[in-house]
A and B are shown apart, each in its own frame.
Chain A
């Protein structure tokens, strides 16, 4: 009870490692089983497609009898995820958690949440309103955020490099890209209009 159930977590990690097609992965941070990092592939056919989303996982000593604490490390534009700090509103991470669930199932649930947002029970009210009132805008923003933040450092660095080649200072290029949600053309517009 007072000890982390190492046995179970290791079994879980083995299981995730074995099933490589699931689209989720978990790695240990700093040799401690209580701090983990999970990744989810953005579901196909959604604005999150092509993105790799990093999830910060903290396990309490009571795990699996208490739910794991999960937050998005990657910025996500989603009604049930805080655009500011990545906090997630998902029932199974709260009162609907069951000890029979695992990190893998929880991450898969997150993946499912990405494809089916629940704007009626929002974590981020602004996103939820946009989702309900102006769906197309939501899709665009979510895709831009995915491109900007979820395609890994490589994506962003490449775009910055391109802009630098065009004679723009690296810092300004990065700021403009972030402002434009990762869209190169929009970033150029931002840069040249100012």
Chain B
């Protein structure tokens, strides 16, 4: 806490009689606690449909409209890597362990492995990965003589107590065992090379297991687990869930790492940096913001630039005008330029008891800049903090809304289905979060030095206008929906007519909000970050549905083929299960993250009931997919930001089953006249802040082909058209 009050007085010769003191209260940057902020379903991330580099992801994203990732728990870990191993085995016709060595060397990237095979040829590929040449795979045999001298202990040993590896190097079993145990203890299980000098060959898994099992069964477990977990730790597409205590799951992303994912344990995080979900901030921007809000560096900067400690009492003194002779409240006069103690007399040429007369212009400029920076930071931080606080409160509201729904469902209202309310609430969550983080983004994007080499001041201003315009619209919509969700629905049950009207508005606003969030992400990714020349920043695209892909890896099936204990030597997968449960007993020294023993009863569920662990999510999002699909637009269409017709975005079931006849001929006006949106813009950001056509009559339009319908068009007609369009697009 830097709060203090300090008055300074100029000496009598000064033109301005007083130097004002300042009160510094609360530092502006108080780290907000993210706990309990209800992140669980508020995140998203996927591939923009404008992403040209990954066309196949776009294609598949239509089938599963959300981030493309899977949750790997212990039941699926084995089968997940089994698939990759089998693929390599089948293509190259090699043994499991050699396939594993190759894959570990290529970080479990099958495509990379195959391209290396095509480029370098099999021999070099094998050599680099430590796999002995094919000719040696089956030929290795023991020593021919009855007795031989081990090259490590120099003892003469009988031939039957020696082991030969695939690379044909022979040592006695004792030496091998000691060596293996040491390597396993050092956490090098995945790449135990042969003992011979300059021999790069990876030791045969079966032989390692056989020898180690006799000496130390615990080491066998560690060896096996290490090989299994290599799929997570040596794989750039898979990462451990960063939950603390650790839930034991890992996530596999298909495609780009810039995606926000949600583990089945409920934690949502940015796959790329492992920190909390932070789009529309890029990872770098978020790291900076987080650090800044943690260490109050801005306050400190300002103090350093604007104040000087009194040479006598050490208090911070600010000079806001007047000459360079200042006096602290402790009556000590000192020179402002160099901070040294002086006498009280001051004239044009000198300060009494002091000869420092140099004036430093850059120092003054520095002070001014720090002050502006602090003001900027305060501006953005206040808003960020405000929205984070709202987010926290809205999380608490969740239960309230649920209880309202319960009351309504019991009442005999015309509306029976209240999923629209739950949907609206989760949408509000996501949007609120996007809004909050957009302030952190704006702080760095506009006006900070971070991108000063990339963007000219003029362009920066245009960008800022574009961004702030959308931010403003997003903010307005968020607040409207927030208000609407808090409506006391439960009291409406006697007048049944109100509910359908509110439902319509909520559904409309939800749809608009989804579009706005998406647009915000697209502007940030394509227009703002996309135009950077010297640095690369990416953000996770917005997705309403954050559910992982259905996990087709079964817990049973062909596991045994790929288990490290496949040869029937030593404990096999069941042992591994147990080990997983009792994590923490033995740890490889360099295992980055071990599943935690404190994972709690939740994780036990995952083990005993694989179906509950299977994050297929198929129950929850079936109807959602239609909505999302309708929202999907062609890649080049994002410049047109007019929202699709709200009705077109309704889940089909809503439209067909639950709409009363009354609504059919009565399209609902959109929230706040967004129809005007930013249509006039073309590709450039000049289209910012298009006309707010608030009073204009609403005409439904197709979100796919943008054809407009007359204002009185029947909604079923519009829906049918949209479906046709979607079908045509998919074809």
Contact = CB atoms under 8 A, between A and B. Distances in A.
**Chain B contact surface mostly:** loop
B692 interface: no
Interface in A76-124: 92, 96, 98-101
Given A7-B155, A8-B153, A98 B182 contact: no
A11 interface: yes
B152 A62 contact: no
Contacts of B182: 1, 62, 65-66
B181 A101 contact: no
B182 to A, nearest CB: 5
B590 to A, nearest CB: 14
B676 to A, nearest CB: 66
A8 B150 CA distance: 11
Interface string A10-24: 011000000000000
B181 A99 contact: no
Contacts of A7: 153-155
B198 A99 contact: no
B154 A99 contact: no
B155 A99 contact: no
Contact of B198 (A1, A11, A98): A98
A1 B181 contact: yes
A114 to B, nearest CB: 20
B179 interface: yes
B154 A8 contact: yes
Contacts of A12: 154
A5 interface: yes
Interface in B569-614: none
A100 B152 CA distance: 5
Candidate in B152, B153, B182, B199 with the most chain A CB atoms within 10 angstroms: B152
B195 A98 contact: yes
Given A7-B153, A8-B153, A8-B154, A101 B197 contact: yes
Number of contact residues on A: which range applies? 10 to 19
Interface in B180-198: 181-182, 195-198
B151 interface: yes
Contact of A65 (B155, B178, B196, B198): B178
Contact of A11 (B154, B171, B178, B197): B154
B175 interface: yes
A7 B155 CA distance: 9
Contacts of B153: 5, 7-8, 64
Nearest to A98: B197
A65 B179 contact: yes
Query: Interface of chain A, helix or strand or loop or mixed?
Result: loop
A14 B119 CA distance: 50
B196 A100 contact: yes
Contacts of B154: 7-8, 11-12
Nearest to A11: B154
Interface string B142-165: 000000000111110000000000
A98 B196 CA distance: 6
Contact of B152 (A1, A64, A92, A96): A64
Given A11-B154, A100-B151, A1 B197 contact: no
Interface in B26-59: none
A92 B199 CA distance: 13
B380 to A, nearest CB: 46
A100 B149 CA distance: 12
Contacts of A8: 152-154
A5 B182 CA distance: 15
B195 A100 contact: yes
Contacts of A5: 153
B208 to A, nearest CB: 15
A54 B11 CA distance: 74
A98 B203 CA distance: 14
Interface in B197-230: 197-199
B538 to A, nearest CB: 36
A110 to B, nearest CB: 15
Contacts of B152: 8, 64, 99-100
A100 B181 contact: no
Contacts of B197: 92, 96, 98, 100-101
Contacts of B155: 7
Nearest to B193: A98
Interface in B111-162: 151-155
Interface centre among A1, A12, A66 (most CB of B within 10 A): A1
Nearest to B183: A65
B52 to A, nearest CB: 42
Contacts of A64: 152-153
Interface in A1-43: 1, 5, 7-8, 11-12
Contacts of A96: 197-198
A94 to B, nearest CB: 13
A160 to B, nearest CB: 44
A96 B197 CA distance: 8
Contacts of B151: 100
5 closest cross-chain pairs (CB), A and B: A98-B197, A99-B152, A11-B154, A100-B151, A99-B195
Given A8-B153, A65-B178, 10 more contacts: A1-B178, A1-B181, A8-B152, A12-B154, A92-B197, A99-B171, A99-B175, A99-B179, A100-B152, A101-B197
16 contacts: A1-B178, A1-B181, A1-B182, A7-B155, A8-B154, A11-B154, A12-B154, A66-B182, A92-B197, A96-B198, A98-B198, A98-B199, A99-B175, A99-B179, A100-B152, A100-B195
